[in-house]
Chains A and B, each alone.
Chain A
Amino acid sequence: MKSKTTEKFMKVILWISGIITLLILVTILMYIISRGLSKISIGFLTQLPRRMGMEGGIYPAIVGTFYFVIVTILMAAPVGIATAVYLTEYSGQNIWVKVIRFGNDMLSAVPSIVFGLFGFALFVVKLKPITGGWSILSGALTGMLMILPTIIRSSEEAIKAVPQEYKEASLALGASNEQTITSIIIPTAMPGIITGVILGIGRVIGETAAFLLTLGGSVLIPSSIFSPARTLAMHIYLTAMEVGALDMAFGTASVLIITILILNLVTHMVLNRYSRVSSR
C-alpha cells in the first residue's frame, strides 16, 4: 500500500519538476520579450545609438555581431573540422588522441573570464602590432578558442556516424584516403558539422565577459577586422549597467533572444534533414 502512495506521490513530483523547467524558460522569454518588444522598430535596428546608447538604435551592435561571428567562425571551423578528421580518421589509438581529447575537454571548461584575461594579455597587449589591440581580430582569436571544443565534438560525432561502407566503397574504387575524406566523408557529415558550427555561433553571440576584455566595445561601426566592435550581448550589458538605460537593454535583449530562437530552429531543421538522409 505504502509503495503505491509513494509511486503516485513521486509521479506528481516528477511531473511538477518537468513542468517547472519548462515554465522557467517560458517566464524568462516572456518577461524579456514583453519588456523589450515595444522598443523594436525599423529605426531601432538601423540607427546609430546616441548619447551612449540611451537613445537611438543598435545598428552598430548588429553589424558588429554579424562581422565578429563570421570572422570567428571562419577561423574556428576549419581548425575544428581538421581536428575532428584527425581524431576519427588518422589517429588510430595513439597517445595523442587521448591528450587532444583531454585538452578539448579542459578547453571547454575554462571559464570565459579566464579566456578574456588570456586574450587580453596575449592578443590585445602582446600581439598589438598584428591584431590592432582591442579589435575584432583579437576578440575572434579568443572566441575561436572558446568554440573549438563544441565544433570538434559535433564534427567528430558526425564523421563517426558516416557509414563504414561509404568509405570502403570509395577506397575500393581506388580513391586515396585524402580523396575519400574530402569528397565522401566530409560532405556526408556536413549537416552534423553545420550543427556544431551553429552551436558555436550561439556561444559567440551569447558571450560577454571574454569579449569585454578583448573586443573593445566601440559603438562605432567597425570598418575592418582591426577595428574594435561590440556585440549585441555586450550592448545589453553596457546599456543596462554602464548607462542604466534598461529599456534599451530589454529591446536589445529581445533582438538577441529572437536571433537565438531562429538559430535553434535552423539547427533543428538541419538535424532533421540529417536524420532523414542517414536513415535512407
Chain B
Amino acid sequence: MRKILFLFAALSISAVIMIGIFVFIEGYPIFIKVGLLNFIFGQKWSPSEGLYGILPMIIGTFSTTLGALILSVPLSVFTAIFLVDYAPKKVERLINPAIELLAGIPSVIYGLFGMTMIVPIIREFQKSYFGNGTSQMQSGYSILAAAIILSIMISPTIISVTRDALKSVEHELKAGSLALGATKWQTTWHIVLPTAKSGIIAGIVLGMGRAIGETMAVIMVAGNTVGFPESIFSPVRSLTGNIAIEMAYAAAGDHTQALFGTGIVLFILIMFINGFALRIFGKGVKAK
C-alpha cells in the first residue's frame, strides 16, 4: 500500500522533471545551431529568414509584467490590509468570494474583455492626448493594455497570499502597538507590514510568475509585434505569446525547435522565480 501510494505521489515531481527534459530535448538543438547567447540576446526574430533572437520577447514579457506589478501591487496589498483589519464582516464576506471568482475567470474571457473594452479605450485616450504623431503605434494593442489585464489577473494571487501573511501576524503585537497609543494605520504601517513582509513579497513574486506565464489574455491584447517597444503604447510580444502565436504554423525543424527553445527559457525563468518565492516564504507556501 505504502509503495503504491508513493508511486502516485512521485508523479508530480517526476512530471516536473519530465516536462523539463522533454521541452529541453525538443528545443536544445536550436541553442547549438544559433548559439545560446545569440538566441537569448538576438535582436531579430524572423523564422522565415532563419533569424531566431528572442530578446524582443524577453523585453516584452518583462515590460508587461513590470507594468502589471506597478498597477496591481498597491491595489492588491491595500485590499488585503482592508480585508484583514478594516473591512466590516459583511463587506469581507462580499469581497472574499469576489476575489475567488476573479481568480476563476478563464484567461480567454479576460482577453475578450481587454480586446473589446480596454484596447479601444487606450486607443481613444492616446489619440486625444497625444494626437496624430508620427508614431505608427496607435492601435491600442499595447504594453499598457496587457499590463492592465494582467494586473487584474494577478491581483487574486497577491491579495490572498498577502491576506494570509497579514492574518498570521500575532495579535499581541498589534494590541501592544495600539495600547502604546499608535493609531490603527500606524500599527499597520510600522508593525504589521514589516512583520508580514516576507509573506507579502512571496505573494508579489508568485503574482509575477503568473503574469510571466499568462498566455491567452496577453496575445489577445498585446499586439504581438516582434520589434522593440518605444513606449507603453507600443505593441509587444511576450515569450508565452511567441509560442502560442507561431506554434500552429511552424514548420518542423528549426522554427519548432526555436519555439521549444522559448519554452525552455520560460520554464527556467518561472522555476527560478518560484524557487525564490518558496525560499523567502519558507515552507508551506500556498500558491493559488
Contact = CB atoms under 8 A, between A and B. Distances in A.
Contacts of B240: 111, 113, 209
Contact of A6 (B11, B185, B206): B185
A237 B1 CA distance: 44
Interface string A143-154: 001001100110
Nearest to B1: A178
B196 interface: no
Given A7-B184, A14-B81, A236-B112, A107 B105 contact: no
A11 B263 contact: no
Contacts of B115: 240
Interface residues of B, number: 88
Contacts of A108: 287
Given A145-B15, A264-B100, 15 more contacts: A32-B109, A82-B8, A99-B13, A100-B10, A100-B12, A108-B287, A110-B19, A113-B213, A117-B260, A118-B18, A121-B22, A202-B104, A209-B240, A236-B108, A236-B109
A7 B185 contact: yes
A66 interface: no
Interface stretch (A41-49, A84-92, A163-171, A183-191): A84-92
Interface stretch (A18-26, A55-63, A220-228, A272-280): A18-26
B117 interface: yes
Contacts of B111: 237, 240
Contacts of A100: 9-10, 12-13
User: Would you call the interface of chain A mostly helix, strand, loop, or mixed?
Assistant: helix
Interface residues of A, number: 83
Contacts, number: 256
B15 A107 contact: yes
B16 A213 contact: no
Complex A-B, nearest 6 residue pairs according to Cβ-Cβ distance, in ascending order: A103-B13, A111-B213, A206-B106, A17-B78, A82-B8, A86-B5
Contacts of B87: 18
A121 B15 contact: no
A111 B266 contact: yes
Contacts of B267: 110-111, 114
B159 interface: yes
